[in-house]
């Protein structure tokens, strides 16, 4: 085939009549075309190799495009762009695929602002389904990001497997090159590890963060600054709470071994979006317009959501998981402990984190009920944390029971969902809850911790997570690791 001055006169492969250009980028040009054999519109991606690229690297780029076709052609999921054909002629490579007339997620959020939580949940479900299908076929996408996600009235589509790496392929990269988009690249990939299904899930978390919050959590002015942000910074959500917030931050856990799995993600998605950290105001001209199909449109019609102020500027870290408001409500009611709290007496220790009795308003867990976890017990403290970090901020005033409760519920949900709890079938077998200090306990700690006499310290500012069995049967060993 010979390139012609007027692209609209071109016919590719003696079959596809070019009717227009849809877009172009560093990896190629995408044409709109008419399939003269079947009689349908298609999109055709033409490999575009910049001038001056050495022959060896040109071969890598060409092989990468062919790999895109092979990878995407193996997938069958409603949220994956379908590949119909692959052509090579006159030194050019062309991929014929389903024509999706839609805006990208980047364009939708840029135009309309953050999506309502219900729409983000629906987006997460569909993208998770697409990634699970790819991973089951041994394919890692490697470039999940808003500009590769198409949103139309007919559905959501994950596009551009152009740098997808099949797990049984040799690694095709040029020496020293970055394969993927730095803002959406998992920390372990920046550190030199291969792309894995877990790294795709991290990219999904960053993408959902963008959809829910309306800004790129790790994007900085330079590539170096962006990479540093991915490795060392924790974004804070101001709009999103409940299961959706927990899902997004769980996908952004730095350690891939602790990062949420698809099963954990689906469990949170089943709970719906949950509450938002926002106030509702009447919808106006700037309200978010749905770009989803009917099911999500039905969920998404509602008032404009206005962002609230984050109350905690820092939180306990699990890997790089910032446990700020954004976790699902604990399954047991959150209780306060200490003077004036629901539990007047509560004093577990690190060496004896288990006890008799079930926490409830007006009950007590005195020292005589504290037990080692090797003895029969009703509850176990499986995590403890400082809302403002490592006990170095005892002089901060009481933030309020509601704010501590949100922090505690997020912390407890994240630890419970992680591999810190090792009991098989834990979701059905166990229940968990948060215990937060009362105002008097907090202020007592604040007063006595600042007098330079550690022997006189009293009160507490710690938040505790406890668990018990669903059926009330006593535990005979610890179910928490570490």
Q: E-assigned strands of 188-274?
A: none
Place of tokens 């490579």: 93
- Residues near 404 by Cβ (< 8 Å), separated by ≥ 6? 336, 387, 436, 437, 463
Nearest to 234 by CA among 262, 254, 211: 254
Active-site hit among 143, 160, 342, 378:
143
Q: Which two tokens stand for residue 146?
A: 């808003």
* Residue count of the chain: 482
Nearest to 427 by CA among 362, 338, 331: 331
Architecture per CATH, domain 103-316, reads as Orthogonal Bundle (1.10)
Nearest to 254 by CA among 212, 222, 207, 206: 206
pLDDT of residue 274: 58
- Residues near 129 by Cβ (< 8 Å), separated by ≥ 6? 77, 78, 79
Antiparallel, parallel or unpaired: β 321-322 and 317-318: antiparallel
Domain ranges for the chain, please list them.
Answer: 7-98, 103-316, 335-469
- Which DSSP category does 194 fall into? P
Place of tokens 């379908």: 82
- Is residue 126 within 8 A of residue 79, CB to CB? The reply is yes
What pLDDT, in 10s, does the model give residues 425-481? 787 788 899 999 999 999 888 888 766 655 556 888 889 999 988 888 888 888 887
Give ∠ CA 10-12-17 in degrees, rounded to 5: 55
Q: Which two tokens stand for residue 263?
A: 């099963």
Q: Which two tokens stand for residue 148?
A: 């590769």
Q: Which CATH number fits domain 7-98: 3.30.200.20, 3.30.70.270, 3.40.30.10, 1.10.3720.10?
A: 3.30.200.20
Spatial separation of the C-alpha atoms in residues 300 and 122, rounded to whole Å: 10
Dihedral sign computed on CA atoms, order 269, 272, 278, 283: positive
- Is residue 121 within 8 A of residue 257, CB to CB? The reply is no
Give ∠ CA 74-78-84 in degrees, rounded to 5: 45
Nearest to 181 by CA among 6, 354, 26: 26
Global pTM reads: 0.55
Strand partners, 285: none
- Is residue 37 within 8 A of residue 29, CB to CB? The reply is no
Spatial separation of the C-alpha atoms in residues 321 and 314, rounded to whole Å: 11
455 included as an active-site residue: no
Place of tokens 């090579």: 88
pLDDT of residue 100: 85
Q: Taking the chain (482 residues) in consecutive chunks of 10 residues, what is each chunk's mean pLDDT?
A: 51 92 77 94 81 72 70 79 82 84 90 93 94 89 91 84 55 50 91 91 96 93 88 87 89 91 89 52 31 35 23 26 36 85 76 80 66 84 81 73 87 84 78 91 83 67 89 83 70
Spatial separation of the C-alpha atoms in residues 358 and 46, rounded to whole Å: 65
- Is residue 130 within 8 A of residue 79, CB to CB? The reply is yes
Spatial separation of the C-alpha atoms in residues 290 and 152, rounded to whole Å: 9
- Is residue 84 within 8 A of residue 97, CB to CB? The reply is yes
- Is residue 408 within 8 A of residue 334, CB to CB? The reply is yes
pLDDT of residue 41: 94
- Is residue 105 within 8 A of residue 124, CB to CB? The reply is no
- Is residue 211 within 8 A of residue 200, CB to CB? The reply is no
| H or E, element range at 155 | strand 155-158
pLDDT of residue 271: 76
Q: List phi, psi (to 5°) of 419.
A: -80, 15
């Amino acid at each position: 085939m010979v390139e012609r001055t007027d692209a609209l006169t071109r016919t590719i492969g003696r079959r596809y009549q070019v009717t227009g250009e849809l877009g172009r980028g560093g990896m190629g040009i995408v044409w709109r075309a008419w399939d003269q054999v079947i009689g349908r519109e298609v999109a055709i991606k033409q490999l575009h190799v910049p001038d001056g690229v050495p022959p060896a690297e040109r071969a890598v780029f060409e092989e990468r495009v062919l790999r895109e076709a092979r990878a995407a052609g193996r997938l069958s999921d409603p949220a994956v762009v379908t590949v119909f054909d692959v052509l090579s002629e006159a030194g050019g490579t062309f991929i014929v695929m389903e024509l999706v007339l839609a805006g990208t997620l980047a364009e939708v959020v840029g135009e309309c602002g953050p999506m309502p939580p219900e729409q983000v949940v629906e987006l997460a479900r569909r993208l998770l389904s697409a990634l699970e299908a790819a991973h089951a076929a041994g394919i890692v996408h490697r470039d999940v990001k808003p500009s590769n996600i198409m949103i139309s009235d007919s559905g959501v589509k994950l596009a551009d497997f152009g740098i997808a790496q099949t797990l049984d392929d040799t690694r095709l990269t040029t020496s020293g090159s970055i394969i993927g988009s730095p803002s959406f690249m998992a920390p372990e990939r920046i550190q030199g590890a291969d792309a894995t299904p877990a790294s795709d899930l991290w990219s999904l978390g960053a993408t959902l963060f963008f959809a829910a919050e309306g800004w790129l959590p790790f994007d900085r002015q330079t590539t170096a600054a962006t990479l540093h942000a991915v490795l060392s910074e924790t974004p804070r959500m101001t709009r999103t709470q409940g299961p959706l917030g927990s899902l997004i931050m769980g996908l952004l856990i730095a350690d891939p071994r602790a990062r949420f799995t698809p099963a954990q993600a689906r469990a949170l998605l089943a709970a719906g979006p949950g509450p938002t950290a926002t106030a509702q105001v009447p919808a106006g001209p700037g309200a978010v317009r749905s770009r989803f199909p009917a099911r999500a449109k039905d969920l998404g019609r509602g008032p404009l959501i206005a962002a609230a102020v984050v109350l905690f500027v820092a939180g306990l870290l699990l890997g790089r998981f910032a446990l700020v408001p954004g976790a699902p409500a604990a399954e047991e009611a959150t209780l306060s402990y200490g003077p004036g709290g629901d539990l007047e007496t509560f004093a577990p220790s690190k060496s004896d984190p288990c006890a008799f009795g079930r926490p409830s308003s007006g009950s007590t867990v005195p020292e005589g009920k504290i037990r080692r976890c090797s003895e029969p017990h009703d509850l176990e403290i499986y995590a403890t944390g400082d809302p403002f970090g490592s006990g170095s901020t005892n002089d901060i005033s009481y933030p309020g029971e509601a704010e501590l409760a949100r922090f505690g519920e997020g912390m407890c949900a994240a630890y419970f969902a992680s591999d810190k709890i090792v009991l098989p079938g834990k979701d059905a077998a166990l229940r968990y809850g948060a215990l937060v200090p009362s105002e008097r306990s907090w202020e007592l700690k604040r007063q006595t911790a600042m007098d330079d006499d550690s022997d006189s310290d009293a009160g507490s500012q710690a938040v505790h997570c406890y668990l018990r069995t669903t059926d009330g049967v006593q535990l005979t060993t610890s179910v928490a690791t570490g």
